Amino acid sequence: MTDESADAILEELFAVIESRKADLPEGSYTASLFTHEKGENRVLEKLGEEATETILAAKDDDHEELAAESADLVYHLLVLLSMKGMDLADLREELAARR
């Protein structure tokens, strides 16, 4: 996978998250995070859960599980960024500043 394709995947995922936030389609897990009374707390709890599961998968050298849990972690992080009015440009800017 090239950097461009990884970036395109993140852009597409973030666009879907933003779309779910705007349209709130019924039955959408992502939309439910934006509409639930404790949506932000749910996202924060999921971040903690997915981080723990990612750590355990790494400890167990389970590459397939590590990839799956890492994807869940990134997804919930992107939802949180959207909830806070941030986007991938904010994340890129911070990462670039740390080089």
Coil/strand/helix, residue 62: coil
Q: What is the pLDDT, as a whole number, of residue 90?
A: 96
Q: What is the pLDDT, as a whole number, of residue 41?
A: 95
- What's the pLDDT band for 71 if we cut at 50, 70, 90? very high
Which of 65, 97, 91 minimizes the C-alpha distance to 77? 91
Average of per-residue pLDDT across 29-41:
92
**Which domains does the chain possess?**
3-97 (1.10.287.1080)
Indicate whether this model's pTM tops 0.95.
no
Give percent of the chain with pLDDT exceeding 90: 88
